[in-house]
Amino acid sequence: MSAESLHLWLEQTWNEQQSLRLRLRSCLHESTSPFQRIAVYDSFALGRVLALGGTITLSEADEAIYAEGLVHPALRCHSAPRRVLIIGGGDGSVCREVCRYPDVESITVVEIDQTVTEIVREYFPTLGASLDDPRVDLVIDDAHRFLSTNTDCWDIIIIDADSLHSTANHVVQPVPIGSLLEQRLAQGGILVAPLGLPAFAASTCRDQLRELAQRFATAAVYQFTTPSMIGQQWAVAWCSQERVPELIEPAPACTGELEYWAPDLQASLFALPRHRQRQLGLA
C-alpha cells in the first residue's frame, strides 16, 4: 500500500457545492453526546481541531482570531463592563478573553452540551482552564430556556455560535431570541452576535440583522477572517441602545498580550466593502 493512500482528510462542505479540506495526522477523540457528534483531530495546517456535528468549530491556529474578534470590539467600547454573559462558549476561548479584564466581576457561560466542556478540558487544556476562573459561572442549559427564566441583566452579551438563531429554534419558541436578548441587556449594554457567513448565506444574515435593527438603536456590522472556516469571513452584529462601536478612553484595563485584535484595528473591522454591504442589505 502506498504512503499516499494512508493520508487522512477532514472535508467540510457547504450545500454540496463548496468544501474545505484539511489533512490530518490522526483522530484523537470521537464520541456522540446527547446533542451532537464530537471529534478532535490533529491536523498538519491548523493543529488540533474540534469538530461538532462534522463542522469545524475550533482550531489551535486561529481560535485567538475568533475569540478576540468577538470580545474586544465590545468590551473596549463599554466604560464599565462588570457583568458578561456568553451564550455558547463551552470551549472556553471567548471566556478566556473576557477574563483578561480584571474589572469584570462576573461571567456567566451558558453551554447546552456539558460533554463539549469535558472534552475541551482534556484536549485544549489552556482554553478549558478559563472556565475555572472564580468569576465564571458555567451553566449547562439551553440558551432560550435560560434567557426565558432568568431575570438578570448583563452589561455585555456575546453569542458564541455560528449565528444568532443557532442558539435556539426560533420557529417553535414563543418568544424570539432577539427579544429575550434585548430584555436581558442592561442599560448602556452591548450585544455581539455572529450573523453567519454572508458569502454563502447572505439572506439569512440579512434577516437576522434586520431583526436586530428593529430592536436596537445601533445595529452595526463588522467582519473578520478565520482560515479554518469555509467562507472564512464572519459577519458579526454589534448592537446597543445607547452606545456606538467607538473605543472608550481611558480604556478598560486588559491584561496579557493579544494575538489579533488591536485598538487601531477597530475602525477597519467595521469598514465593509461594497459587495458585503449589498449582501447584508446595507448599501
Residues that are catalytic: 160
Cis peptide leading into 250, omega within 30 of 0? Answer: yes
What's the CA gap between 192 and 35, in Å, rounded?
A: 25
Query: What are 39's three cell numbers?
Result: 471529534
Rounded to whole angstroms, how far apart are CA atoms 57 and 72?
20
**Which residue's entry shows cell 478566556?**
96
Measured at the alpha carbon of residue 247, what is the angle toward residues 95 and 88, in degrees to the nearest 5? 20
Assess contact for 235 and 280: CB atoms under 8 A: yes
Phi, psi of 77 (to 5 degrees): -105, 5
- Beta-bridge partners for 222: 236
* Helices H / strands E in the chain, number of each: 9, 12
Query: Which of these, 32, 82, 94, 25, lies nearest to 57 by C-alpha position?
Result: 94
Q: By C-alpha distance, which of 127, 130, 239 is closest to 178?
A: 239
Q: Are the beta carbons of 22 and 45 closer than 8 angstroms? A: yes
Indicate the burial class of 250 (C-beta count within 10 angstroms; 0-12, 13-18, 19 or more): exposed
Closest CA to 77 of 195, 253, 251: 251
Phi, psi of 10 (to 5 degrees): -105, 125
